[in-house]
């Protein structure tokens, strides 16, 4: 059952280079900001 949603992720990594590395304690790779910006959103920096 789990492979039904895991396998598409693994397959997509083979075509787009896989997970992006980023430094610990940061908001993640710059690609994550670009991804949500395409839909008009931005990460909230409130904690």
The candidate with the shortest Cα–Cα distance to 19, out of 8, 29, 27, is 29
**12-40 pLDDT per residue, tens:** 878 877 778 899 988 888 888 888 999 99
- Reduced to 3 DSSP states, what percent helix, strand and coil does the chain have, rounded to the nearest 5? 45, 0, 55
Q: Is the pTM of this model over 0.95?
A: no
pLDDT band of residue 47 (cuts 50, 70, 90) is: low
pLDDT band of residue 46 (cuts 50, 70, 90) is: low
- Distance between CA atoms of 21 and 30, rounded to whole angstroms? 10
Both tokens of 12, joined, read: 């997509």
Counting beta carbons within 10 angstroms of the beta carbon of residue 29, is it exposed (0 to 12), middle (13 to 18) or buried (19 or more)? Answer: middle
């Amino acid at each position: 059952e789990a492979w039904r949603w895991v396998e598409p992720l693994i397959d997509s990594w083979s075509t787009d280079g896989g997970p992006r590395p980023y430094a610990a304690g940061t908001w993640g790779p710059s690609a994550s900001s670009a991804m949500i910006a395409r839909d008009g959103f931005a990460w909230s920096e409130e904690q």
